[in-house]
Structure 1
Amino acid sequence: MKFEKRDVILITGLLLFMVGLLPFMAPLYAVLIVSLMYFGVKFYVGRRTKLIQRDIGLEGLCMDCGSKIVNKKCPHCDISDKE
């Protein structure tokens, strides 16, 4: 989990959420809840990013059909061009 620019927005939002929780519970519990939310969001985003990168692959997507590029060729578009 590395720190990115958009984490500043996440931290700011969670701090405001914590301020909203303070009238209803002890500050320790509010900090605990916000900390769990931060790590939960970071874990979820990290897993989704890995899943998307696995689906896309290292070479990217075809701009015509959207399938994954293998060996710098689209398996669908390059076959249809030959026929």
Structure 2
Amino acid sequence: MKFERRDLLLIVGLLLFMIGLIPFMAPVYAVVIVTIMYFVIKVFVGKRRKSIQKDVGAGICMECGSKLLDMKCTSCDQPSS
């Protein structure tokens, strides 16, 4: 989990969420909840990014959008019979 620029937006959003929780619970609990939310979101996004990277592989075809295998489209580069 490395820090990226978009994490700043996540942190600001979670801080605002924490401020919204403070009237309903103790500030310590709000901080704990927001901290747990931050790490859960980071893990979810990391796993999702890995699955997308695995699906895309070498890239996608600009014509049909299918996955490229050996730099050839599985749909467009088929010999038409």
What TM-score does the superposition give when structure 2 sets the normalisation length? Answer: 0.93
Matching residue of 1:42: 42
Partner SS for 1:52:
helix
Instruction: Say which structure is richer in strand.
Output: 2
Q: Give the deviation of 1:63 after TM superposition.
A: 0.8
> Structure 2: which 5+ residue stretches go unaligned?
none
Q: Structure 1 segments of 4 or more deviating over 4 A?
A: none
Instruction: Say which structure is richer in helix.
Output: 1
Q: Give the deviation of 1:24 after TM superposition.
A: 1.1
Matching residue of 2:66: 67
Write the distance in 1 (CA, Å) between the matches of 2:43 and 2:74: 33
Give me the CA root mean square deviation.
Answer: 1.1
Q: Give the deviation of 1:76 after TM superposition.
A: 1.4
How many residues are paired up?
A: 81
Instruction: Give the share of equivalent positions with the same residue, in percent.
Output: 60
Equivalent residues in 2 for 1:2-81 (5 A)?
A: 2-57=2-57, 59-80=58-79
What TM-score does the superposition give when structure 1 sets the normalisation length? Answer: 0.91
> Structure 1: which 5+ residue stretches go unaligned?
none
